[in-house]
Chains A and B, each alone.
Chain A
Amino acid sequence: MKISLNQLTIAKARQGFLSGAFTARDLTEAYLKKIEEKNADINAYLEVFDDAESQAEEADKIIKKKGAESPQLCGIPLVIKDNILIKGRCVSAASKILEGYRATYDATAITKLKNHHPVFLGRANMDEFAMGASTENSAFGVTKNPHDETRVAGGSSGGSVAAVAADLALASLGSDTAGSVRQPSAFCGTVGLKPTYGSVSRYGLIAMGSSLDVIGPIGKTVEDCELLFSAMAGRDPLDSTSIEHSERVKKPMPPFTIGVPGNFVKEGVDADVVANFRETLARLERAGLAQVREINLPLLPYSLPAYYTIIPAEVSTNLARFDGVKYGAHVSGNNLLEDYLETRALFGHEAHRRILLGTYVLSAGHADAYYNKATAVRALVRKEVCAAFSGKDAVDVIMTPTTPTPAFPIGEKAQDPLSMYLADIFTVIANIAGIPALSVPSGVTVRDGKSLPLGVQLMGAHRREDMLFAVGSAIEQVRG
């Protein structure tokens, strides 16, 4: 039977399974066929798992036996970013240094999903070790934007997002350290959630910036992201920074108070992006769903420079473990030191850049001026942002565009690291503050005759993903 993949959501797929309109196996086969047709153009998948159909058959058995009592995500076809471990399967963080490595354990997020018996279709392309905003840093080629293949899909979770946008998977997992779930979501027209830091365990996520990394879901709707988030969230004894998850009983109701840091949204932002952002706010107000208030957060512009001081420091520390001894690739030299040097030459350019910068900002003579100062600035930004969500002038969410521009052409920023970093200017705030943020599609703009998606970002108080889902759904209602 023919399943219209482009209309499908998790809830609709489940309805299809339960009504008997199609099976999980039918659905998986439909996606595999689409992958076969399209993936060579998009390069979203690094590997398609050869047991996807048998996973789907297992799910069908459970659906047949338990019906509506079967888990919410049973039989749902997902693609997983190549930095999240699934036991027994290859995982490489899109780096040559992990060539041949097979995961020896499941990430906690995967363990929790496995309880639902979804179908893991494969692993998704990304920037090497999640460093980048375009997937141009992948050792295995760039992922192209399904809306215009001359443009980037964004990054670092570009493969996870492009797969969902091109109907090569129903939903996916990415990871977000500065915007890696949200920025590609805005570029490709999907919904992407960066949860509160610690709300999804980092156990089994290949580390880039341990104080900032979080696993996040990508889907076509806010509801799909919410389902995946609820399935993964919660405290994990294997990640000491993880926190409890409690479902809120009372759903937040409109009108929502939306804070807009207007001064920050003006500078260096594409005119179409600003117009779309203002239009989205106006629609919410006209529909009586929101009250918009200008807020002044003078420290926001310091989030990105603080981030690009802290992140190389954490990268240089985290990537020290790749030595050609314990796992992954090994290049032999004349002695042990040369083994290290030869093996670590397998890292890509951006990894080398961040390792050197990180070693510099952490070194004895410079740590106070750079790393320690950045840590202090981070604390100040966090304090300022959190204050916006409390007190008598509290807002429910802070809204900005997700990105300062629509998807840029492949190659445009590849030689200019700083301009690539600036793609994260709005998204990085949530990672620096540890708060949750959601990117929701807000319309399109036309470039070179092609329609390119745009997105708006909602940031909420710690653990208030429920508020983001409520406002995100409101945006879905009013979107043209």
Chain B
Amino acid sequence: MDQKELKHLAELARIRISDEKLEALRGDCDVILKYVSQIKGVEGGAQTMEDLGLVHNVMREDGEPHESGIYSEELLREAPEREGQFVKVKKIL
């Protein structure tokens, strides 16, 4: 992984990292990727998540799970900034 690629990933992941810290992280990532690359030597690769039997759809009735608005105040209270019944963010456009 070169610095440019790592910088791009950081942008995509919305984290800002100083060049100096980025270099340290690049070194770590290289070592870790080299270590995990040993999985490439394992034969038999057709399986996907479904083979684990862990992933399946769980459906519920398409109705109101609870009365509308009963949790709104509690949840809004945790928002760093709010305006009335809305979570407030900076202008997007």
Contacts and interface: CB of A to CB of B under 8 A. Distances in A.
Contact of B13 (A104, A237, A355, A382): A355
Contact of A356 (B25, B42, B74, B92): B25
A325 B79 contact: yes
Interface stretch (A200-208, A249-257, A333-341): A333-341
B87 A325 contact: yes
A479 B40 CA distance: 42
Contacts of B36: 305-306, 308-309, 370, 374
Contacts, number: 140
Interface in A399-429: 417-418, 421
Given A324-B80, A380-B44, A339 B89 contact: yes
B28 A417 contact: yes
Contacts of B81: 330
Interface stretch (A59-67, A344-352, A440-448): A344-352
A372 B42 contact: no
A237, A305, A330, A421: residue with the most chain B Cβ atoms closer than 10 Å: A305
Contacts of A349: 21
B78 interface: yes
Interface string A276-310: 00000000000000000000000100100110110
Contacts of A335: 90-91
Interface residues of A, number: 59
A378 interface: yes
Contact of A336 (B48, B54, B75, B89): B89
Contact of B15 (A306, A347, A372, A421): A347
A70 interface: no
Contacts of B89: 325, 336, 339
A356 B13 contact: yes
A290 B28 CA distance: 44
Contacts of B68: none
Contacts of A345: 15-16
Contact of B35 (A102, A305, A340, A353): A305
B44 A376 contact: yes
B54 A341 contact: no
Interface of A: 101-102, 104, 197, 211, 237, 240-241, 299, 302, 305-306, 308-309, 316, 320, 323-330, 335-337, 339-342, 344-345, 347, 349, 352-353, 355-357, 359-360, 363, 369-370, 372-380, 382, 417-418, 421, 434
18 contacts: A104-B75, A302-B39, A305-B37, A306-B36, A309-B36, A309-B39, A316-B13, A325-B80, A327-B80, A336-B89, A341-B16, A357-B29, A360-B33, A372-B48, A373-B42, A373-B45, A376-B42, A421-B35
Given A101-B78, A355-B15, A356-B13, 4 more contacts: A353-B25, A376-B46, A418-B32, A434-B52
